[in-house]
């Protein structure tokens, strides 16, 4: 099978979509020809086959065998350059699918709503409806999409086999968040409000919430201002992005991971935390809430300051419960989210699409 993943990334490092795509390529490449075609500034990654738009302006111009792929996988939706390429796919009778990575759920559609409404009307609805399939990362993402599609497949993200395991000493009970600093999307405003309303409890129990991430637009400045204006900068700590060994060190000692997103596709930060045995406190908007609740890997709750704070208290004040969550997280996630399992199922679905009649 010849698979071409299309992306439009400015910077790959720390980008959840980039992390997922790199792993798609790595694991799909075991028995197939797989490459990434990036449409923004040239990016480098020596571990995968990578082509850049500035060198190749059309799929047909790519080196063999990628100029004639069996299937093209568009990662995300709202990328204007995709329109030209999907039209090339239609003209050349090349099968293509779209992985929205969460951008088509109803909550995501509210962000820049007018711009997306017009974009959908004039460009992107045709792109979506002409696809041979929409690949949602889980059932909840599919159910909460702003449109309904007959041609859907469910195939999610995975995790590498963990090289280490969380080993919290139970003394340092700091909570962590690792992700982009997008205040509304990631629910960071909810975390700020929790720290404001319950400041005395955090101080009395010596609990801090450590945030790690990269900026998104002007969000980091706004977030820092919110925290400083409300004098909670000693319990809600903003740090820079962490990668590789630095991230590993943080996850090794983390007491729990917290994420209060309003909407997601399938956040890699939570999956990575679960895979090394870090219990998670999440909102159902992360779309991993049901997995975490069902498998007792932490606590899932509604987007509510009271519910999230009660979950934090329950995990922090009950080390035995926390440790059982950690054990379940490590065991259950590495079965459910193993890349080997995920990719095997995904490739079977791609084969069905390739063998089927085009649209």
Show me where the domains of the chain are located.
2-158+339-355, 175-336
* Mean per-residue pLDDT, 37-62: 86
Tell me what pLDDT residue 13 has: 63
Q: Identify which has the larger pLDDT, 309 or 164.
A: 309
Strands (E), 155-222: 175-178, 209-212
For residue 149, pLDDT beyond 90 = no
Q: Percent helix, strand, coil in the chain (nearest 5)?
A: 45, 15, 40
For residue 127, pLDDT beyond 90 = yes
Task: Specify burial of residue 300 (Cβ count, 10 A radius: 0-12, 13-18, 19+).
Answer: buried
Tell the CATH topology of 175-336: Rossmann fold (3.40.50)
For residue 136, pLDDT beyond 50 = yes
Backbone phi, psi, residue 235, to 5°:
-120, -20
Q: Which CATH number fits domain 2-158+339-355: 3.40.50.2000, 3.10.105.10, 2.40.50.140, 3.50.50.60?
A: 3.40.50.2000
Structure tokens at 213: 């991430």
Q: Identify which has the larger pLDDT, 72 or 356.
A: 72
* Mean per-residue pLDDT, 157-182: 90
Q: Identify which has the larger pLDDT, 171 or 166.
A: 166
Same-fold call for 2-158+339-355 versus 175-336: yes
Q: Identify which has the larger pLDDT, 11 or 238.
A: 238
Beta bridge partners of 35: 4
């Amino acid at each position: 099978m010849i698979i071409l993943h299309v992306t439009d990334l400015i910077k790959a490092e720390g980008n959840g979509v980039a992390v997922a795509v790199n792993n798609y390529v790595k694991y799909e490449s075991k028995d197939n020809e797989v490459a990434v075609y990036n449409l923004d500034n040239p990016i480098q990654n020596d571990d995968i086959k990578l082509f850049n738009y500035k060198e190749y302006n059309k799929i047909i111009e790519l080196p063999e065998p990628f100029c004639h792929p069996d299937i093209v996988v568009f990662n995300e939706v709202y990328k204007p350059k995709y329109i030209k390429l999907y039209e090339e796919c239609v003209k050349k009778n090349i099968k293509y699918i779209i992985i929205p990575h969460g951008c088509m759920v109803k909550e995501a559609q509210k962000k820049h709503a007018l711009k997306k409404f017009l974009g959908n009307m004039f460009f992107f609805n045709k792109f979506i409806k002409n696809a041979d399939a929409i690949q949602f990362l889980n059932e909840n993402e599919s159910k909460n999409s702003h449109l309904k599609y007959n041609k859907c497949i469910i195939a999610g993200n995975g995790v590498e086999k963990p090289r280490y395991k969380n080993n919290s000493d139970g003394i340092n009970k700091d909570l962590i968040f690792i992700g982009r600093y997008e205040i509304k999307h990631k629910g960071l405003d909810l975390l700020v409000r929790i720290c404001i309303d319950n400041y005395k409890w955090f101080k009395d129990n010596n609990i801090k919430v450590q945030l790690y991430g990269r900026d998104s637009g002007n969000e980091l400045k706004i977030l820092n201002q919110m925290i400083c204006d409300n004098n909670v900068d000693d319990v809600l700590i903003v740090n820079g992005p962490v990668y590789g060994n630095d991230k590993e060190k943080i996850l090794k000692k983390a007491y729990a991971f917290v994420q209060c997103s309003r909407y997601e596709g399938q956040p890699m930060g939570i999956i990575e935390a679960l895979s090394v045995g870090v219990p998670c406190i999440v909102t159902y908007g992360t779309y991993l809430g049901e997995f975490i609740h069902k498998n007792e890997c932490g606590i899932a709750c509604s987007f509510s300051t009271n519910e999230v704070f009660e979950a934090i208290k329950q995990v922090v004040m009950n080390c035995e419960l926390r440790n059982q969550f950690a054990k379940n997280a490590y065991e259950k996630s590495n079965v459910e989210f193993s890349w080997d399992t995920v990719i095997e199922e995904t490739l079977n679905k791609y084969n069905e699409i390739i063998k089927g009649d085009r649209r």
